[in-house]
Amino acid sequence: MKVREATSSDVDAMSELLENLVAAGKRTMPADIDYVREHYVDNPLSIRCTLAEDDDGIILGF
């Protein structure tokens, strides 16, 4: 497992992970790409977003 800072190239995969949580009833907040970009990766308050990925580059969480 690798832990690193999230980048704009991660937004699609991060959104997909959140959408899976919505589908499973584990999340009610938005999960679309624009939401992820605005609130996690390009947050204007400079919140740092760290993610974990497996050896194949699959995002496990953030």
Domains of the chain by residue range: 2-61
- Distance between CA 55 and CA 24 in Å, rounded? 25
Model pLDDT, residue 44: 81
Instruction: For 9-37, write each residue's pLDDT tens digit.
Output: 999 999 999 999 999 999 999 999 999 99
What pLDDT score was predicted for residue 28?
97
Alpha-carbon span 15 to 41, nearest angstrom: 11
Examine the pLDDT at 61 and tell me if it is beyond 80: yes
* C-alpha–C-alpha distance, residues 57 and 59, integer Å: 6
The answer on pLDDT for 46 being more than 80 is: no
In the chain, the percentage of residues whose pLDDT exceeds 70 is 100
pTM: 0.88
